[in-house]
């Protein structure tokens, strides 16, 4: 399985000026709301929902290009048909665009329930079938994830629970791994590298080998969480451009 990706030189680029970073933030927000609104309209008007998803993925890749970000994806050869639970680290809001645009397949994000209350973003999330996570009602989230599993969709969920403010890996929550064990889907550690700030430069999305949850029980949720975090931490510490672990 493969995904379209930008070329990647492996050469670090000079840090951009504050003006370019500011412009990129404006581009990011403008594209998010304008393309999101178009995607909502397409989803409601076009019977073939795959057309909307193709538009959303293309828009995410165009956003990267407009921001001067070159995205490289490694490790997709580890993936089969799925479904999977992808568990990426979370450095910035650009992670979402990079994962949407370059991670193979038609995937659904799980996001904090509070995000669904925002006027435009919430409408986009609900329309495109994203999963609200209510920390006070984890069983409801598992039921929604179970429906995705039945429909053969993979889920993308950030186990840190929120984005890192300084790029350092935060502690992982146990919830995603409880859900993965309950659903019996493999967990795929995904590493977002170089996304800490929305600026011109190189970004890598590294897909590590899936970890089966077959035979695991609730008591092993901590082991699964720690294993995934250790693998992501090891890849984050490695130089960009080297072969993926496994």
Average pLDDT over the chain reads 81
Average pLDDT over residues 133-140: 68
In this predicted model, what pLDDT tens digit does every residue of 173-191 receive, in sequence order?
988 898 899 889 999 999 9
Per-residue pLDDT, 237: 92
Q: How far apart are CA 68 and CA 64, in angstroms?
A: 6
Say what the pLDDT of residue 17 is: 64
User: What is the pLDDT confidence band of residue 1, given thresholds at 50, 70 and 90?
Assistant: very low
Which whole number is the average pLDDT over 122-132?
74
Q: 166 — phi, psi (to 5°)?
A: -120, 10
Q: Is the pLDDT of residue 12 over 50?
A: no
CATH topology of domain 18-237: Glycerol-3-phosphate (1)-acyltransferase (3.40.1130)
Residue 138 to residues 158, 163, 203, 213: CA-CA distances in angstroms?
Answer: 15, 20, 33, 19
Confidence category of residue 140, pLDDT binned at 50, 70, 90: low
More confidently predicted of 132 and 173: 173
Say what the pLDDT of residue 246 is: 36
The percent of residues in the chain predicted with pLDDT above 90, rounded, is 33
The per-residue pLDDT for range 53-98, each reduced to its tens digit, is: 888 889 889 888 888 889 999 999 999 988 999 999 998 878 888 9
- pLDDT greater at residue 227 or residue 143: 227
Flag whether pLDDT at 13 surpasses 50: no
Q: Say which DSSP state 211 is in.
A: B
CA distance 17 to 160: 30
Evaluate whether 228 touches 211 at the Cβ level (below 8 Å): yes
Q: Which pLDDT belongs to residue 16?
A: 54
Q: 26-61: per-residue pLDDT in tens?
A: 777 777 778 878 888 888 888 887 888 888 889 889
Structure tokens at 7: 């070329």
3-state secondary structure of 46: coil
């Amino acid at each position: 399985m493969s995904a379209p990706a930008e070329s990647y030189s492996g050469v670090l680029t000079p840090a951009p000026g504050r003006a370019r970073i500011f412009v990129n933030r404006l581009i990011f927000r403008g594209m998010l709301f304008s393309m999101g609104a178009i995607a909502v309209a397409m989803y409601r008007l076009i019977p073939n929902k795959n057309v909307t998803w193709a538009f959303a993925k293309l828009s995410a890749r165009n956003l990267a290009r407009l921001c001067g970000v070159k995205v490289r994806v490694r490790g997709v050869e580890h993936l089969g048909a799925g479904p999977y639970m992808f568990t990426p680290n979370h450095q910035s809001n650009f992670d979402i665009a990079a994962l949407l645009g370059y991670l193979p397949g038609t995937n659904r994000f799980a996001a904090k329930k509070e995000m669904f209350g925002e006027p435009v973003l919430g409408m986009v999330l609900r329309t495109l079938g994203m999963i609200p996570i209510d920390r006070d009602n984890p069983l409801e989230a598992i039921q929604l994830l179970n429906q995705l599993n039945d429909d053969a969709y993979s889920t993308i969920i950030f186990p840190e629970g929120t984005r890192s403010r300084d790029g350092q890996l935060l502690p992982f929550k146990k919830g995603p791994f409880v859900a993965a064990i309950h659903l019996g889907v493999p967990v795929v550690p995904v590493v977002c590298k170089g996304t800490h700030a929305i600026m011109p430069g190189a970004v890598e999305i590294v897909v590590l080998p899936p970890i089966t949850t077959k035979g695991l029980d609730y008591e092993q949720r901590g082991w699964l969480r720690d294993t995934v975090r250790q693998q992501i931490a090891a890849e984050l510490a490695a130089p960009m451009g080297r072969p993926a672990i496994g």
